[in-house]
Structure 1
């Protein structure tokens, strides 16, 4: 049993257990457990025949959750140097694969974001994200550590290159997420206030341009502002699911929204949770996400290593923002956006990408002696 490990245990497992943030680890385990529950609950017309597509989808989701949990634990044991090297390898590999989707990617709804593999499709940008965040933090921090090193310009150049590829797919949501994460990192680095205002203005201009010139962005915003029963069917159906669930929910397997929404187990899994398990369960999910974000922020307040501050800050900002966008769009608080709920929505790429991201976060926020900082 883990709690029986002695503080005098100098094995890799012993040092990990007494240095890792066990509160965050427990919260992440709770999210994975919720993912298991909703892997069952969000499957429409569930049968136990192995040949059923719903059964196979459920089994794949459970396997990816188990694999993701193992990946997260393994990465949480890395040293800071190993985190940098792992992020560099992941970043290069999955940037090339993301660019590859522009040539031989699977087309879904006009976007080329996936690569077809035996048994499933892979969205490389999901695994590019944690590598990119750590690489960007590494470059920015190195500009402080090494006078004359153009780390900030290099980080900005890497971001523009990645953003160009994501925009070409196109994946506006992922581009927006990468942009805000980079902005958070530069802000944590102490960017001059005038650049903060300039960046905010650029985001406003870019958002307005997307609304005016990108058709699906325009339609989603207009549906959010002027919803009708026919045109905003998914958003209104998801919203009604929360009302049907009430305080305690209709019960596991008793929800109806999953029968009508094609994205019920992915983009609108939070609505499934609201209908079948109720408001209190949804509040618990929000509390778990908030616990992870706030816990990481409090831990970083005492951090002196600029690399750890920037990398962990970017990782947790991306995690929290993605969760907010999914839950807020499910409740029609913002326009709908195809962004998964970490560890809960269906999707192997999303689970593995977020497992890497949180594994890096756990590794970066471990308590270290001065000699272990590198």
Structure 2
């Protein structure tokens, strides 16, 4: 245990007694699980692509130190510092996302990445944490307790602008996440009941439009809805769950990672199921659930609308991404290229999620009286 007394008034001392240490440890554990599974699935993917054995492992480790630094360093910030940093970060991330439409690296027909030296960065990943803070700031601009209708309109326009930019890459999954996070924040801020139903109708219409306009979306829905059509990655994932049973085949003993093109990213959960078993997977799901539920329970005592909306947005972000990724792996949802938070391979994703977690921990820190200060 870190040796800080309750009377320690230093920055680190105050941080230690006010931060939610359980949630902090849970995030670090998830990052550790992600590195472990990258070690399991990365070499097989690298061999299949003709790369060096530890190519993906080394790439992920490059982002490990910055991710941990962001997780802990940002959790020390005050609420005002989180807001200022996120606003600046949003401007940079949005500009970089727009730049991908003109100078982005094309991968499988999508232009989502910018290349810096030997590394590829996906700017839209960094839109997520900064967008959460931006929309919370706009919606709560009417005061500590009341949502501003002007702010709601401004946040909606901002959301549409981002979704439109992402659709041109195209990145339908990220568009869905951004839209759902905004809807969750507005709902918590007091969305009128009639508008709740309107949002459901609008969401259904958007899905139908995506189905009609984008061939890859249509193919994925058709494969999901028609069991007679082969769905290669999902079929292999289901075989992995069956092979793993309750306790798994053992670390490094799985076969599915040699068969799945996205075994290190979108289908990392299937690799975990085969090698570590269903029990380990259930524990992983429980860890995500505890983070979300614990955060929501702490928000019940919070009086600042800005903090409530920020934390709710981050928790919705974590929970939605995890639910979609796991649902795809279990053939409960159509295939969607969405990573499992902190666990799937991807440096941009790991760093952006660590920024989100750092902001969340900063905003969840207790007041002096709650922490035991006098």
Residues 210/92 of structure 1: CA separation in 2 closer, same or farther (3 Å cut): same
| Kept after mapping to 2: 8 A contact 1:35/1:65 | no
CA displacement at 1:242 relative to structure 2: 0.7
Distance in 2 between the 1:105 and 1:339 partners?
A: 20
Residues 353/47 of structure 1: CA separation in 2 closer, same or farther (3 Å cut): closer
| Kept after mapping to 1: 8 A contact 2:139/2:149 | no
| 1:180 aligns to 2:188 (yes or no) | no
| 1:248 aligns to 2:244 (yes or no) | no
| Residue matched to 1:152 | 152
Residues 146-187 of structure 1 show CA distances to partners (whole Å, capped at 9, x for unaligned) of 998821111111111111111111110000000000000100
| Kept after mapping to 2: 8 A contact 1:342/1:354 | yes
Distance in 1 between the 2:147 and 2:354 partners?
A: 35
Residues 147/91 of structure 1: CA separation in 2 closer, same or farther (3 Å cut): closer
Distance in 2 between the 1:105 and 1:256 partners?
A: 34
| 1:135 aligns to 2:128 (yes or no) | no
| Residue matched to 1:19 | 18
CA displacement at 1:53 relative to structure 2: 2.2
Distance in 1 between the 2:60 and 2:128 partners?
A: 21
CA displacement at 1:45 relative to structure 2: 4.0
| Paired residues for 1:1-374 under 5 Å | 1-2=1-2, 4-45=3-44, 53-144=52-143, 150-228=150-228, 231-369=230-368
SS at match of 1:359: helix
| Kept after mapping to 1: 8 A contact 2:141/2:148 | no
CA displacement at 1:109 relative to structure 2: 1.6
| Kept after mapping to 1: 8 A contact 2:46/2:55 | no
| Kept after mapping to 2: 8 A contact 1:130/1:315 | yes
SS at match of 2:343: coil
SS at match of 1:115: strand
| Kept after mapping to 2: 8 A contact 1:257/1:264 | yes
Distance in 2 between the 1:267 and 1:215 partners?
A: 20
Distance in 2 between the 1:308 and 1:199 partners?
A: 24
CA displacement at 1:213 relative to structure 2: 2.5
| Kept after mapping to 1: 8 A contact 2:45/2:264 | no
Distance in 1 between the 2:218 and 2:334 partners?
A: 10
Gapped regions of structure 2 (runs ≥ 5)? 370-374
Residues 262/147 of structure 1: CA separation in 2 closer, same or farther (3 Å cut): closer
Distance in 1 between the 2:215 and 2:342 partners?
A: 30
Residues 120/310 of structure 1: CA separation in 2 closer, same or farther (3 Å cut): same
SS at match of 1:241: helix
Q: Would you identify which runs of 4 or more consecutive aligned residues in structure 1 move more than 3 Å?
A: 44-48, 144-149
SS at match of 1:54: coil
CA displacement at 1:208 relative to structure 2: 1.6
SS at match of 1:53: coil
Distance in 2 between the 1:147 and 1:37 partners?
A: 43
| Kept after mapping to 1: 8 A contact 2:173/2:337 | yes
Aligned Cα root-mean-square deviation (Å): 1.9
Distance in 2 between the 1:169 and 1:156 partners?
A: 20
CA displacement at 1:52 relative to structure 2: 5.6
CA displacement at 1:98 relative to structure 2: 0.1
Residues 328/46 of structure 1: CA separation in 2 closer, same or farther (3 Å cut): closer
CA displacement at 1:322 relative to structure 2: 0.3
SS at match of 2:102: helix
Gapped regions of structure 1 (runs ≥ 5)? none
Distance in 2 between the 1:345 and 1:148 partners?
A: 37
Aligned residues: 366
